[in-house]
A and B are shown apart, each in its own frame.
Chain A
Amino acid sequence: MAELTRDEEFTAFVASRAVWLRKVAYLLCADWHRADDLVQESITKLYTHWGRAGRAENRDGYARTVLVNTFLAEQRTAWWRRTRTAARPPEDQVLAEPDLAVSLDLREALAALPPRQRATVVLRYYCDLSVEQTAAELGCSSGNVKSQSSRALETLRRSSALRPLGRSGA
């Protein structure tokens, strides 16, 4: 019965967060199929550590940390980088959005960032975490987050993704 309760709690949590986690995963990898794989692997890990996740003050943050670490761990194997070319949009993709160009520029600019910088940018500017919160999720120092953010923003400024903007600090 305890197992059922645990499983029900887990599945309810994941079902309510799957869309959000998928978006974060997509920003990390720029490929919806791979985003699904990342989320699936992450929630499987989450299940195996559900007891620990339950004790976490911020369960959402715990799940997001698992996702980011799963992404970074996969990058270290170098497999995805060799077999997927996620930086390019599918040729048949048709978007009628007025900001299509901005989206495509941003996609390419994010994909060009090293994985850890990309993760830092996603956590800081999409998930709206503070420097300290980002450092906690990435398991590094605040100084490291600042430097990663700074380098990433500088790269994005040089790209067309942020070129029209001013040059105010991070």
Chain B
Amino acid sequence: MSGDGEELSVRMARYVAAEERSAPPSRVDPALAVLRGRERRRRRVWTVTAAAAAVVLSAGSLAVLRDGGGAGPAEVPSVLPTATGRPGQGAPMTGRTVLEVPARFGWLPESVSAVEYRSGPGGSDVVALVGPASGVGGRGGGQFLLTAFPEGVTPDVDPLIGAGDGLRIGAPPVNGQEAYWVSSSDPAFAAATNLLRFRGADGIWYQLESSGLSEADRQSVPLRIAAGVVPGRYVPPMPLALSSLPADTVVTRASLRRSVPDGAAWRAEVGFQQDGSHYVTVSAERGGGSGSVAPVPEPGVCASGGGVRRCVEEVQPGSGAGATLPVWLNRVVARGPDEGAWSADVLP
């Protein structure tokens, strides 16, 4: 490298250093990557299983979606909608709340054992978890992931999906509103993915991604779940709060998981980034440890009382007296197991 190349190197380094001084706090959260990464690995197992089934049933999985599913496969529109988007992206939250989702589930199949509301760098969503009825920890049997596109955005279908062309396949209307399946000419992808988009009564487009369904349920269950979705932003009451927050601390994510149908088991988490590099996750869950879905985090600390276990964990030790785990734990206020005492206001 010489001449312009060397000068460009110097200028880029100075440029990014100058820009960094006025940059907003980072919302990158390694702990969230672990959570989402685990989900993807679980879903990959489903994908591999379904793809194998697709090879065996080489008759073509698109026919599965077409049978009784609507108008049959349609070509990708030659003229894309004027506005496109992807689900789950929202504006940063302000005020004392940390968790807001675009909609709520209504009807869910009996196999669902928990519902989780989540927000983070990628936006917010609601996921219904299928699995053994083991409280908030029931996992491993598939899931229903509900996201929303930004208001005013009509989503298009990506031209390339999997190893084939993206396809928009007509679906029966959901509550009288337009709906379609997103699929691919790649049979393996089509067999493994179950993506329904539908317009809500509020005009917003929603997306329901289902996994773990039998072939018999692949259309009927998502359509019924979609019909029961309650559109509109929802700020769930949280069972924990923070009594104080140190300076230079930002919220990176939040979640609340509750068992279905009674909601008796629950777990709330809020992720923070302190001083740009100290990642802390505070949590509260029902119970004092017995039957707890999560082991004592390592490295982390927990305290139990009043029927609630509070925990704090970190990625790396922070610097300064205000960054230690015991200090963080003291900031976490549990609101008790009585839902009536919960509040959407979490931050001080």
Residues 255-298 of B, flagged 1 when their CB comes within 8 A of A and 0 if not, give 00000000000000000000011010000000000000000001
Decide: A168 and B32 in contact? CB cutoff 8 A: no
Q: Does B41 contact A (CB under 8 A)?
A: yes
Closest A residue to B313 by beta carbon equals: A11
**Interface hits, B1-32 → A, CB 8 Å:** 1-5, 7-9, 11-16, 18-24, 26-32
Decide: A125 and B84 in contact? CB cutoff 8 A: no
Residues 82-120 of B, flagged 1 when their CB comes within 8 A of A and 0 if not, give 011110000000000000000000000000000000001
Decide: A162 and B4 in contact? CB cutoff 8 A: yes
Q: Of the 9-residue stretches A54-62, A92-100, A135-143, which lies at the interface with chain B?
A: A92-100
Q: Does B57 contact A (CB under 8 A)?
A: no
Query: Nearest-CB distance from B280 to chain A (Å)?
Result: 11
**Interface size, A (range):** 35 or more
Main secondary structure of the interface of A (DSSP, over half): helix
Q: Using known A-B contacts A11-B315, A15-B279, A44-B33, determine if residue A156 contacts B26 with beta carbons closer than 8 Å.
A: no
Query: Nearest-CB distance from B344 to chain A (Å)?
Result: 24
Decide: B4 and A32 in contact? CB cutoff 8 A: no
Query: Nearest-CB distance from A26 to chain B (Å)?
Result: 6
Decide: A15 and B8 in contact? CB cutoff 8 A: no
Q: Does B37 contact A (CB under 8 A)?
A: yes
**Interface hits, A9-49 → B, CB 8 Å:** 10-12, 14-16, 18-19, 21-23, 26-27, 32-33, 36-37, 39-41, 43-48
Chain A neighbourhood of B21, CB < 8 A: 95
Q: Does A121 contact B (CB under 8 A)?
A: yes
Decide: A157 and B4 in contact? CB cutoff 8 A: yes
Q: Using known A-B contacts A12-B316, A48-B41, A79-B84, determine if residue A40 contacts B19 with beta carbons closer than 8 Å.
A: no
Complex Cα gap A107–B27 (Å) = 22
Decide: B8 and A156 in contact? CB cutoff 8 A: yes
Complex Cα gap A46–B36 (Å) = 11
Chain A neighbourhood of B38, CB < 8 A: 47
Query: Nearest-CB distance from B80 to chain A (Å)?
Result: 8
Query: Nearest-CB distance from B97 to chain A (Å)?
Result: 19
Closest A residue to B29 by beta carbon equals: A40
Chain A neighbourhood of B30, CB < 8 A: 10-11, 14-15, 18, 43
Query: Nearest-CB distance from A129 to chain B (Å)?
Result: 10
Q: Does A2 contact B (CB under 8 A)?
A: no
Query: Nearest-CB distance from B228 to chain A (Å)?
Result: 29
Complex Cα gap A142–B7 (Å) = 22
Chain A neighbourhood of B276, CB < 8 A: 19
**Interface hits, A105-137 → B, CB 8 Å:** 106-107, 121-122, 124-126, 128
Which of B18, B85, B120, B316 lies in contact with A83, CB distance below 8 A? B85
Q: Using known A-B contacts A44-B40, A153-B8, determine if residue A168 contacts B26 with beta carbons closer than 8 Å.
A: no
Complex Cα gap A19–B155 (Å) = 33
Q: Using known A-B contacts A12-B316, A22-B28, determine if residue A48 contacts B40 with beta carbons closer than 8 Å.
A: yes
Complex Cα gap A138–B34 (Å) = 26
Which of B2, B23, B120, B315 lies in contact with A169, CB distance below 8 A? B2
Chain A neighbourhood of B37, CB < 8 A: 44-48, 50
Decide: B4 and A168 in contact? CB cutoff 8 A: yes
Query: Nearest-CB distance from B173 to chain A (Å)?
Result: 26
Residues 23-64 of B, flagged 1 when their CB comes within 8 A of A and 0 if not, give 110111111111011101100100000000000000000000
Chain A neighbourhood of B215, CB < 8 A: none
Residues 291-322 of B, flagged 1 when their CB comes within 8 A of A and 0 if not, give 00000001000000000000000011000000
Decide: B158 and A77 in contact? CB cutoff 8 A: yes
| Cross-chain pairs A/B with CB under 8 angstroms, 25 sampled | A7-B34, A11-B34, A11-B279, A19-B26, A19-B277, A26-B16, A37-B121, A40-B28, A41-B122, A43-B28, A47-B37, A48-B41, A78-B84, A79-B84, A79-B85, A99-B18, A102-B11, A103-B14, A103-B19, A125-B9, A125-B12, A126-B16, A128-B9, A167-B3, A170-B1
Task: List 7 A-B pairs, minimum CB-CB distance, nearest first.
Answer: A168-B3, A47-B37, A14-B30, A43-B33, A40-B121, A11-B30, A44-B33
